[in-house]
Chain A
Amino acid sequence: MKTIQGTVYVVRDDIDTDQIIPAQYLNLVPTIPEEYAKLGSYALCGLPNGYPPFVKSGALTADYPIIIAGRNFGCGSSREHAPVCLGAAGVKAVVAESYARIFFRNCVSTGELYPFETPIRLCDVFKTGDKAEIDVEGAHLTNCTTGKTYSIKELGAVAPVVEAGGIFAYARKSGIIK
């Protein structure tokens, strides 16, 4: 059984890519290993004041492998730096009510993290710091702090791409490229 466990970080609606990774850090190139790591240190640093820091000052990674979000997570720019910086910071999954199209697509294509959707407004019932466990195959999420379990949606049409490990692996498997 594939599971993702850890502490959650909760954000609300319309978290755009400028809040996930502000544009001044787009001079970093995700395919250069040390710049990939550096991108992780800036993950979610554009959130308005009032949110606790996602990555502690001086650290490269966050203590939160799971992000819980409201509607339209990842809206705005097509910058792949957004899912990349979250993946580099150690995020394994986002569970949101909905996603912006390009961010969702970039999660799937890169294989950086699982973009799970849920019909339930989890950002109202989870608090940053709660412990959680995602059962990937069983498609549910448990708040280990409260003991409550919630269903998440199956990945649907993109599942074969996610299972293959991204767009390149999927295309090789299906003979589109060598």
Chain B
Amino acid sequence: MAMTLTEKILARAAGKRVVGPGDNVWVEVDILLTHDVCGPGTIGVFQREFGKMAKVWDPSKIVIIPDHYIFTADQKAHRNVDTLRDFAQYQKLAYFYDPGTPTYKGVCHVALPQTGHVRPGEVIFGTDSHTCTHGALGAFATGIGNTDAGFIMGAGKLLIKVPKTMRFTVNGTVPPYLMGKDIILKIIGDIGFDGASYCAMEFNGDAIRQLSIEERMTICNMAIEAGAKNGIIEPDEKTFEYVKAHTNKPFEAVYGDADAPVDSERTYDASTLEPCVAEPHVPSNYALARERNDVKLDRSYIGSCTGGKITDFLAAARILKGHKVAIPTFLVPATVEVAEDIIKSQIDGKSLIEIFAEAGCEDIAPPSCAACLGGPEDTFGRTSGTETVISTTNRNFPGRMGSKQSRIYLASPLTAAASAIRGRITDPREFM
């Protein structure tokens, strides 16, 4: 029987020849990812159920990347990182990226592929809803809670339902003013905030192939914003090049069958899509940037797993070069590697860090999730009042960036940068 990419990966992980949508199967896990916000609770569940001194199923398959509450004075946040450190030492975990040491990375969803833990055809679970990001490299990846993660820590497997596949084909040439963020916000706007509930969102087509791995990650990252179980893109030469540059571990890529039935299919032409925003307070509130010129802004924010990669800062710098921002503009690189690349990368002989400084942006923050999800009160860039913010992050729920009264517009880094110059929502084509 023909199977989609997601079904084929799950069939292999379940040791079955065939699986179909709706089947409940136990799958073997290749990577379990956790961080400082859900890791301590996961460890608590693991110790409660398997025993205080129990050993994890495989210390080389658990990856702990603290990233949420790192640069804060909050005592419990520090205690939580201490809990992770003690556990990693006791369990002899191979991959613990410790804050305050040279191994610290930053935002887990950008760090995971950068450290070579994402490989095509594998099964990744993470205690974070944006774990779906990793489908960009042809893996099955999804978010789970502490209890399921505690189960995996001890058992190395999990019972899951095989999702139906919704296919999104994006053809045409991607124009220079359009980014992955504009594509995924358009799709979420069309199908709705719960339009892909319990489903796999598979993205393919010429336009997707043209995108960098980082841009593909932006798209898969936001599959959860349509309620999807996973986002996924079939691996190609770009994928293999990226993966081989980050790990020597062998992997076996999986491809969907061309004749596999899917639950639904939608087709887009990238050349006709336009820069957009998602208006408050759900990511499906789609609007064209050029039709929201009247929205005055207090702040621009570029960062997070979906919008704090080097490609995002390159895009923002392209717009900001030679201009001044009219509103406070916050820059939070996702990882240490991205922060280093901001110093190294140049546009017309000028480093990004110089471009941002000359444009009047705030000093670049150390890598972490920062204000994307509000966090402790001393978090960098957190809203505290009635601020209207344009942000490259992935969620704009009430209170998401801190204050319930603030209003968040989601956008690509091109649009966030153009809007920072004008102090109101601006189509980046005005500066291109």
A→B interface (CB under 8 Å): 14, 16, 18-19, 22-24, 26-32, 46-49, 71-72, 75-81, 83, 98, 100-102, 105-106, 109-110, 157, 161, 166-168, 170-171, 176-177
Q: Identify which of B48, B229, B399, B402 gathers the most chain A CB atoms within 10 Å of its CB.
A: B399
16 A-B residue pairings within 8 Å (CB atoms)? A14-B282, A22-B374, A23-B375, A24-B376, A24-B402, A27-B37, A31-B45, A46-B398, A48-B398, A72-B197, A80-B145, A102-B145, A105-B148, A157-B24, A157-B161, A177-B151
How distant is the Cα of A172 from the Cα of B78 in the complex, in angstroms? 35
The yes or no answer to B268 lying at the interface (CB within 8 A) is no
Cross-chain contact B77 with A27 (CB below 8 angstroms): yes
How distant is the Cα of A168 from the Cα of B45 in the complex, in angstroms? 10
A32 neighbours in B (Cβ, 8 Å): 44
Q: How far is the CB of A30 from chain B (nearest CB, A)?
A: 5
Cross-chain contact A24 with B147 (CB below 8 angstroms): no
Q: Identify which of A32, A110, A167 gathers the most chain B CB atoms within 10 Å of its CB.
A: A167
Residues 19-35 (chain B) with a chain A CB within 8 angstroms: 22, 24, 26
Cross-chain contact B193 with A14 (CB below 8 angstroms): yes
Q: How far is the CB of A77 from chain B (nearest CB, A)?
A: 5
B128 neighbours in A (Cβ, 8 Å): 77-78
A29 neighbours in B (Cβ, 8 Å): 40-41, 44, 80, 83
Given A78-B145, A106-B145, A168-B151, answer yes or no on A101-B229 (Cβ-Cβ < 8 Å): yes
A100 neighbours in B (Cβ, 8 Å): 194, 197, 227
How distant is the Cα of A15 from the Cα of B293 in the complex, in angstroms? 29
How distant is the Cα of A79 from the Cα of B41 in the complex, in angstroms? 10
The yes or no answer to B400 lying at the interface (CB within 8 A) is yes
The yes or no answer to B336 lying at the interface (CB within 8 A) is no
Which of B152-160, B202-210, B305-313, B325-333 lies at the binding interface? B152-160
The yes or no answer to B395 lying at the interface (CB within 8 A) is yes
Q: Identify which of A16, A81, A110, A161 gathers the most chain B CB atoms within 10 Å of its CB.
A: A16
Cross-chain contact B194 with A72 (CB below 8 angstroms): yes
Given A167-B147, A176-B26, A177-B154, answer yes or no on A49-B159 (Cβ-Cβ < 8 Å): no
Which residue in B44, B144, B194, B227 is a CB contact (below 8 Å) of A105?
B144
Cross-chain contact A167 with B148 (CB below 8 angstroms): yes
The yes or no answer to B74 lying at the interface (CB within 8 A) is yes
Which residue in A30, A71, A72, A177 is a CB contact (below 8 Å) of B41?
A30
Cross-chain contact B144 with A78 (CB below 8 angstroms): yes
How distant is the Cα of A22 from the Cα of B402 in the complex, in angstroms? 8
Q: Identify which of B48, B129, B282 gathers the most chain A CB atoms within 10 Å of its CB.
A: B129
Which residue in B154, B194, B229, B404 is a CB contact (below 8 Å) of A48?
B404
Closest to B147 in A: A109
A78 neighbours in B (Cβ, 8 Å): 38, 126-129, 131, 143-145
Closest to A166 in B: B147
Q: How far is the CB of A128 from chain B (nearest CB, A)?
A: 19
Given A76-B129, A79-B37, answer yes or no on A171-B151 (Cβ-Cβ < 8 Å): yes
Interface string of B363-383 (1 = CB under 8 A from A): 000000000011111000000
A-B pairs, top 5 by smallest CB distance, nearest first, are: A31-B44, A80-B145, A106-B145, A78-B143, A27-B76
How distant is the Cα of A46 from the Cα of B397 in the complex, in angstroms? 10
A177 neighbours in B (Cβ, 8 Å): 151, 154-155
Q: How far is the CB of A31 from chain B (nearest CB, A)?
A: 3
Residues 118-165 (chain B) with a chain A CB within 8 angstroms: 126-129, 131, 143-148, 151, 154-155, 157, 159, 161
Given A23-B374, A30-B146, A109-B145, answer yes or no on A167-B159 (Cβ-Cβ < 8 Å): yes
Q: How far is the CB of B99 from chain A (nearest CB, A)?
A: 14
Counting contact residues on chain B (CB < 8 A from A), the size range is: 35 or more
A71 neighbours in B (Cβ, 8 Å): 194
Cross-chain contact B227 with A18 (CB below 8 angstroms): no
A83 neighbours in B (Cβ, 8 Å): 145
Cross-chain contact B145 with A27 (CB below 8 angstroms): no
How distant is the Cα of A168 from the Cα of B47 in the complex, in angstroms? 12
The yes or no answer to B68 lying at the interface (CB within 8 A) is yes
Given A23-B374, A78-B144, A167-B147, answer yes or no on A98-B37 (Cβ-Cβ < 8 Å): no
B224 neighbours in A (Cβ, 8 Å): 76
A47 neighbours in B (Cβ, 8 Å): 398
Given A29-B40, A72-B197, answer yes or no on A105-B145 (Cβ-Cβ < 8 Å): yes
The yes or no answer to B69 lying at the interface (CB within 8 A) is yes
B358 neighbours in A (Cβ, 8 Å): none
Cross-chain contact B157 with A176 (CB below 8 angstroms): yes
Closest to A106 in B: B145
Q: Identify which of B77, B145, B227, B376 gathers the most chain A CB atoms within 10 Å of its CB.
A: B145
B49 neighbours in A (Cβ, 8 Å): 168
The yes or no answer to B198 lying at the interface (CB within 8 A) is yes
Q: How far is the CB of B320 from chain A (nearest CB, A)?
A: 29
How distant is the Cα of A29 from the Cα of B159 in the complex, in angstroms? 25
Q: How far is the CB of B293 from chain A (nearest CB, A)?
A: 27
Cross-chain contact A80 with B376 (CB below 8 angstroms): no
A72 neighbours in B (Cβ, 8 Å): 193-194, 197, 227
Q: How far is the CB of B398 from chain A (nearest CB, A)?
A: 5
Cross-chain contact A109 with B74 (CB below 8 angstroms): no
Cross-chain contact B68 with A26 (CB below 8 angstroms): yes
